[in-house]
Amino acid sequence: MTASPDKVAAQPGAPPHEPAAPALKAGLKNRHLSMIAIGGVIGAGLFVGSSTSIAITGPGILLSYALVGLLVVCVLRMLGEMSAAHPASGSFSAHADRALGPWAGFTIGWLYWFFWVVVLAIEATAGAVILEGWIPAVPQWAWSLVVMVVLTATNLVSVGSYGEFEFWFAGIKVVAIGAFIVIGALAVFHVLPGVDSPQAGLGNLTGHGGFLPNGPGAVLTGVTLVVFSFMGSEIATLAAAESEDPRRAVTTSTNSIIWRIAVFYLGSIFVVVCLVPWDSEAVTDKGSYVAALDSLGIPHTGQIMNVIVLASVLSCLNSGVYTASRMAYSLGERGDAPGAFARVTDRGVPRTAIIASVMFGFVAVFLNYRFPETVFLFLVNSSGAVALFVWLVICFSHLRMRKILQREAPERLVVKMWLYPYLTWATAAVIVFVLGYMLTDAEHDGRRTVLLSLLVAAVVLAVALVRKPGRPRAGTDGTAD
């Protein structure tokens, strides 16, 4: 049984004549939700992964980011419609449970949890590399341990503690990207005082082999490379369930997603490809953002970017612990995970769900150090396509849930997907096309990523189909059908 749409669910199965068990608390303030929504679309992958995409696609990478951005806008609009109608800690997993059946909620919930605990290991290692560069006396594994322990502790204190840390981490990212866009744009148009950047200009968009130097097909390759940097944009819908006004929080974050993607992704990448020729060796050697800042003669650009990337890594780690634990909580609440996952402390913290998620993250960190090219590489590849699986499930959940809501609770449709059902079907078709295209991409590991992710998804789905086949399905009002 799932949560009431208007408040976070209490412990399931509590006797009706006894006080309700402790539940998740509405500890996130509006400023927390606003910054989580803004910062959630700025992943560390934007800073560290864009150089490869630019080198492969050229200036046409702008089309790749625009296509993926449009896809994400549509998916989050669908998710916003469902989450505004029924805010829940499990977000799309809870919606899939209601719309498609317990097998769907179980499968996508566990796959999403798996994705984030692997991300914990990736980000902990990335942060440790930067910190070891600053303080070499402390070994890399120790730094990984430190950042994992600190951010686990903040999540164990309260949801407000998570929100406060994320407010500042995300704030650093937002300010950094904003400053980069403003300074870079001034340099592109040669009006930045004290800076002489003769190679900067709009001519870089077409002056080195054309806008699509490697052909139109490179745009699709770029799509498969950048799609994963958008993962995390859905976190606001999970966090909204622990805010004072979940419906308002979801509505606000959903309505602002277009400008957030346009500014932070398209705006910053546009500045990068205008400041530095796409085929410059500096783009791949130093990273796209470092190369762009270097071209302006700004001193210590490498260390500046290290600080920004570290903030992004810590933000991702902080949100990863939060997101994985809340998905585990939701699965436990619905009977799809051990019941202990659904228990919370007096402060409203799902302690067991947090510890279990972080423990798997610690194991993944160890595997990254001990077996980086075998076991850990398998974990990374087998979770790589989860973002696309999640988006596809959101599409199909939306097709079903809209009909249910229109029939049973039309007043809950405070956010509506545009051009329903045509745009929903079109979005699903594009996602399937991207997955299909990745199967043809052996050069950049697209095929391996999809096949291994499908293998893991098939195993989880098989488990979902053989366990608890008779579990009642929740309706739109939170009661069992």
Task: Dump pLDDT digits (tens) for 307-359.
Answer: 888 888 888 888 889 999 999 999 999 999 999 999 999 888 999 999 999 99
Residue with tokens 């600080």: 307
Over the range 70-95, which residues count as b (16 or more CB within 10 Å of their CB) and which as e? ebbbbbbbbbbbbbbbbbbbbbbbbb
DSSP reduced 3-state for 228: helix
17 occurs within a structural domain: no
Does the pLDDT of residue 478 top 50, yes or no?
A: no
Q: Are 292 and 276 contacting, i.e. CB atoms less than 8 angstroms apart?
A: yes
Residue whose C-alpha is closest to residue 258's, from 91, 418, 77: 77
223-236 mean pLDDT = 83
Instruction: Return the minimum-mean-pLDDT range out of 216-230, 231-245, 269-283.
Output: 231-245
Chain segment 59-76, per-residue pLDDT in tens: 999 999 999 999 999 999
Q: Which amino acid is at 315?
A: S
Q: In which band, very low, low, confident or very high, does the pLDDT at 44 lie, cut at 50, 70 and 90?
A: low
C-alpha distance from residue 253 to each of 89, 250, 460 (Å): 16, 5, 31
Domain count, the chain: 1
pLDDT of residue 260: 83
Chain segment 2-24, per-residue pLDDT in tens: 333 333 443 334 444 444 456 78
Question: Looking at per-residue confidence, does 261 or 71 come out higher?
Answer: 71
87-103 mean pLDDT = 91
Query: Tokens standing for 430?
Result: 């594009």
Chain segment 162-187, per-residue pLDDT in tens: 999 989 988 898 899 899 999 999 99
108-128 mean pLDDT = 91
Give CA–CA dist 289/273, Å, rounded.
10
390-399 mean pLDDT = 96
Q: In which band, very low, low, confident or very high, does the pLDDT at 229 lie, cut at 50, 70 and 90?
A: confident
Query: Tokens standing for 32?
Result: 């927390």
Chain segment 398-420, per-residue pLDDT in tens: 999 999 999 999 999 998 999 99
439 occurs within a structural domain: yes
Which positions ≥6 away from 234 have C-beta within 8 Å? 40, 75, 76, 79, 91, 92, 390
What is the domain-level CATH number for residue 215? 1.20.1740.10
Residue with tokens 């980086």: 372
3 occurs within a structural domain: no
Give the global pTM. 0.89
Question: Looking at per-residue confidence, does 38 or 373 come out higher?
Answer: 373
Average pLDDT, the chain: 86
Give CA–CA dist 40/32, Å, rounded.
11
163 occurs within a structural domain: yes
Q: Which domain holds residue 84?
A: 30-466
pLDDT of residue 19: 43
Does the pLDDT of residue 253 top 90, yes or no?
A: no
Give CA–CA dist 106/9, Å, rounded.
18
Helix (H) or strand (E) holding 9: none
Does the pLDDT of residue 441 top 50, yes or no?
A: yes
Q: What percent of the chain has pLDDT over 90?
A: 47
370-382 mean pLDDT = 87
pLDDT of residue 8: 40
1 occurs within a structural domain: no
Does the pLDDT of residue 291 top 50, yes or no?
A: yes
Q: What percent of the chain has pLDDT over 70?
A: 91
Query: Tokens standing for 408?
Result: 């049973």
Chain segment 144-159, per-residue pLDDT in tens: 989 999 999 999 999 9
19 occurs within a structural domain: no
Query: Tokens standing for 87?
Result: 């805010």
2 occurs within a structural domain: no
14 occurs within a structural domain: no
